[in-house]
Structure 1
Amino acid sequence: MADALLGPAEIRDLAARLGVAPTKKLGQNFVHDPNTVRRIVAAAGLTADDVALEVGPGLGSLTLALLGTAAHVHAVEIDPVLAAALPATVAERADPAKLTVHPADALKVGAQLFTPAPTMLVANLPYNVAVPVVLHLLSELPTLRGGLVMVQKEVADRLVAGPGSKVYGVPSVKLAWYAQARAAGRVPPAVFWPVPNVDSGLVAFTRRDPVAEVPRTDVFRVVDAAFAQRRKTLRAALAGWAGGADAAERILVAAGISPQARGEALTVGQFAAIAAAAPALGHGGKLSPSGSDHEEVSP
């Protein structure tokens, strides 16, 4: 397997042959360290039966490592040049029959695209779309049992944060709706080309059953409203969503939550309780201006 992986020289030679220059617009930072991709695959806990989903395979560093373990790899690549070149790179070093390349935007793919169905998301995600991609794929692909993603360290910290943390927010709660997440390590800038000016972090997650029998979209509206203006009490923050501060207070009391609490202190289960209490009191809850299943986090 060691000889099959791409090192710094192979990455640069391949990019030169393809005429590829990494672009900030697509968030392209290619991993060129074989030990790092081995570490990612090991930390992901893939089995020989898993079908891996990789987003942004780039020149194929992580793809080759995944092919050494997984039964099949789906690689979703938005750059048409890289998508077209990946099968040839794999054919030189691994079994090309185990790879399916999808020239597509990961934010627009659905379950119907993938056969066999993916079971694990393992990816070095572009910094600028990391959170929306993870949330979209967990929403659209119920067969995913978990995954491990490499993202900007700041974003990794937010994804795994718990209530009360200074960085706990919308991404933390929305990922918690789908899965239990944990930090799985730090990755230094030197293993990338070009070298980013920030560290990266690994986030591992395992899907769990929904925390409540409440529609996800209803819960996410509450979450968006609660964090739209940080440090406000929930009575004030949810006023627009509930149709007034008094209505918000009634809903919060019915959900067993203090109207003076702040969103930063609530678990995903408590947000679900708020969403569940609203219809019982005759409030449907309004979509907040930022309401989205796929909240993006700026670096």
Structure 2
Amino acid sequence: MEAFIGTGVALITPFKEDLSVDTNALNDLVKDQIANGIEYLVVLGTTAESATLTNEEKELVKKTVIETNAGKLPLVLGIGGNNTAGVVEELKTANLDGFDAILSVSPYYNKPTQEGIYRHFEAVSKASPLPIILYNVPGRTSSNMLPETIDRIARNCDNVIGVKEAAGDIVQAMKLISLVPEEFLVISGDDMITLPMTLAGGKGVISVIGQGLPKEFSDMVRAGLEGKVAEAYKLHYRIAPSIDLIFAEGNPAGIKALLAKKNMIKNTLRLPLVEASEILQERINAFVDNF
């Protein structure tokens, strides 16, 4: 579990202008994360626009990341959904070679009760050959996985090792940290409150902005984990404006605009997502120029 302490990055999927997967840009992006201190990579999460990728494209993304990474960083694969039987079947049949853990989102759209969420992850836990990191993101799922439910899962499902907590609620995060077993990883899923969560006892972040500012953001998290509060907050306040910018029109429109400004990718997304507005791109460009 120590492999997932620090900064993980939720990788985007770069597209060419014709909207095919840009494996060269993905290769360069992975190399940049490795070179700049990121601790692990998350593949085919929400930020990857995985909902718009075909099965063949998902396999291409996995293959590209595994080959480029070459065993340097731990890899986490996103496998989740709102059909429990479908998630279980995917975990039993997918080729998971090269991956170290699964990130599995709480069921969306169906709006299950807390008991339903518990039973979903109980079934997912039994099916998974790899450790599982839960993902609580009420803004996308329309249901909040409560701290008591996460604690219950943590204590009853041995291979569930942590949670990406993205409710954006520092009070809920602190309650969660106080409840779960000490070895259970509470990982921020919200870039803006990553540092206070880490200082409160969290174990780091699965980040979006970390992809665009990998050195500075991972340095901030490491400083927080080491209790270097002043140093960590100095970095936080330097980075913070970019977090507001990249989420102003949704994810991954903002981070793709930032990465395009850094000439790392083409600024292309698949419908129903669209690129950031010209006004927002100008603000992001100005931030990068002055960072």
Higher relative contact order by CA 8 Å / sep ≥ 6: 1 or 2? 2
Greater share of helix: 2
TM-score, normalization: structure 2? 0.30
Bigger Cα Rg: 1
TM-score, normalization: structure 1? 0.30
